[in-house]
Amino acid sequence: MGCPDDTGVLLNRGRAGAAQGPNEIRRAFYKMAFPMEGSWEGFSLKDFGNIDVSKDICSTHRKVYEASQFLSKSTQGLILLGGGHDFAAPGFLGFISGRRFLNSKATFGLVNIDPHLDVRELEENKPNSGTPFRQILESGEIQGSHLIQFGCRENRNSQTHFNFCKENQVQMVSLEKIRLKHPSSLHTFKQAVSPLMRKVTELGVTLDMDSCSEVTGTSAAPGIGFSVSELYEIAYWVGTQTKVRYFEIAEVAPSLDPSGKTALSAAELLYGFLLGRARFFLASKNLGKNRISNKTPKNSKKSHKREQEISSHPVE
């Protein structure tokens, strides 16, 4: 589902252009071919188009919340294309509401890949692209310890916002620490996310393209950040994790990048996520067939138990 609006970016004094993001990501994505090996069998991808944008940002957010809630009741996962990062709040909160309709005992976690913490207070009672994770935390729908800020920059956030995250027990993994102390971004990402994944039943991942240093068409292009390849590796791994049911790519501003590389890079990340998901389903399906074909009356109960383990265990 696309959220073609950058009102929240402008209210946060960012650069305009993200309103065109969803359509340009789609344009690049739909030109891509199926993978040479494997299959997309096992799941279907449905494009529900774009949310109708209102002049009032609060009205648009309500529409996103309601649509996310509705779709999360009837699908196995939700992908949001932005648009401003302010949509992370109504998108993820609507997702939680929809999933809780199916399982009242579900618990949720969220990972934000972003140089900015985005925990500003609302201005004049209106959200903007700097407020979504404060809104999510203050909703009470997830615990602070179930939010990971991955790749946040020490020189892009105020001490007040760092303190807010610390007070709420938010886990912060700064880009400075990743670059200076760890062997790879994916390795560090797994180390941070895997413990959270064991605590919750469902996980969301939201990726702000401001985190990528190789593209210019974003609301706040960084000088230092992750490469497209690093983010692709993360997106692919995230796709293999069955607890990840919410995936978002935010703040692609095509008009700020005439080369088209930013939208193409975002489409590659979307493709990487779906490729990981497709290969997981294919691996699970093939393992299931092998187990069923080898089943005998003697080991049928063990095989059934193994089938359940396969269906709930992600491939590496």
Whole-number pLDDT of residue 291: 57
Whole-number pLDDT of residue 290: 59
- Mean pLDDT by groups of 10 residues along the chain of 316 residues: 98 96 97 76 85 97 98 94 98 98 96 98 96 98 98 96 98 93 88 97 98 96 93 97 97 96 98 91 68 45 38 36
Whole-number pLDDT of residue 289: 61
Q: Where are the domains of the chain?
A: 2-286
How much is the CA Rg of the chain, to the nearest whole Å? Answer: 19
Burial 110-142 (b: 16+ CB within 10 A, else e): bbbbbbbbbbbeeeeeebbbbbbbbbbbeeebb
Whole-number pLDDT of residue 222: 87
Reported as a single tens digit per residue, the pLDDT across 241-255 is 999 999 999 999 999
* Tokens at 84, concatenated: 């401003």
**Torsion angles phi and psi, residue 224, rounded to 5:** -130, 140
Enumerate helices (H) and strands (E) in the chain, giving the number of each. Answer: 11, 7
Whole-number pLDDT of residue 34: 77
Query: pTM for the whole thing?
Result: 0.89
| SS3 call for 193 | helix
H or E element in which residue 112 lies = strand 108-113
Reported as a single tens digit per residue, the pLDDT across 281-306 is 777 776 666 554 444 444 434 433 43
Can you name the residues that pair with 3 across neighbouring β-strands?
82
For the domain bounded by 2-286, which CATH number is listed? 3.40.800.10
Q: What is the DSSP string of 196-259?
A: HHHH-SEEEEEEEGGGBTT---BTT--SS-B-HHHHHHHHHHHHH-TTEEEEEEE-B-GGG-TT
| SS3 call for 60 | helix
Whole-number pLDDT of residue 99: 97
Whole-number pLDDT of residue 287: 66
Whole-number pLDDT of residue 297: 40
